[in-house]
């Protein structure tokens, strides 16, 4: 019997696991946790995306896991390198909350959560990866854990029941 490891990823990080291991991240407020997986190969990758566009980066080198427009492509490459099959990849999303209330004066710049979700979905569509389930928006932070063997994404939200998608 193998020991199950829970691989933890932090903000602006990504990682890949194979069953029986699981992958988790916490602190998903306006950030988005994107999981790309191949259930048949029991392999999954997760990225903790912080911002929608790498054009927001300051300086030269960028952390590709930090931005939706770069993280999805990099995560696909990692999952495929770990044995995932491009045509069988699926995605699940969580996060993208509007954590603070702002007046209309803040405009689109203050909608980071919604913009993160939009950009992740745009990138997944670009690579023809269907989103099979999501738990996005709202006003609460989330902790998520993905099980590549079952394809279940467990979502814990403050003051709410555990949800599985």
CB of 14 within 8 A of CB of 47?
Answer: yes
User: Which residues are CB-neighbours of 148 under 8 A, at least 6 positions away?
Assistant: 17, 18, 19, 21, 22, 23, 37, 39, 42, 43, 44
| 123: in domain | yes
Q: What is the CATH number of the domain that holds 46?
A: 3.30.1330.200
Residue 107 binned pLDDT confidence (cut-offs 50, 70, 90): low
Does the structure show a pLDDT above 90 at 10? Answer: yes
Residue 121 in tokens: 């979905």
Mean pLDDT of 43-71: 91
Number of domains in the chain: 1
Which pLDDT value is given to residue 105? Answer: 47
* Nearest to 56, CA basis, from 73, 72, 68, 74: 68
| 30: in domain | yes
- Range of the structural domain that residue 105 is part of: 6-164
Does the structure show a pLDDT above 70 at 92? Answer: yes
Residues annotated as catalytic (active site), given as ranges: 31
| 1: in domain | no
For residues 125 and 160, which has the higher predicted lDDT (pLDDT)?
A: 125
């Amino acid at each position: 019997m193998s020991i199950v490891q829970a691989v933890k990823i932090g903000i602006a990080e990504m990682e890949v696991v194979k069953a029986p291991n699981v992958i988790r991240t916490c602190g998903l407020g306006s950030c988005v946790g994107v999981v790309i997986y191949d259930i048949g190969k029991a392999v999954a990758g997760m990225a903790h995306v912080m911002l929608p566009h790498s054009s927001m980066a300051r300086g030269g080198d960028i952390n590709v896991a930090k931005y939706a427009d770069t993280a999805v492509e990099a995560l696909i490459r990692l999952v495929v390198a770990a044995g995932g099959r491009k045509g069988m990849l699926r995605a699940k999303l969580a996060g993208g909350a509007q954590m603070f209330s702002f007046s209309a004066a803040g405009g689109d710049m203050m909608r980071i959560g919604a913009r993160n979700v939009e950009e992740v979905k745009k990138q997944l569509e670009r690579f023809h990866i269907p989103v099979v389930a999501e738990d996005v928006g709202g006003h609460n932070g989330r902790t998520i854990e993905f099980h590549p063997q079952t394809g279940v994404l467990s979502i814990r939200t403050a003051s709410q029941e555990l949800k599985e998608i």
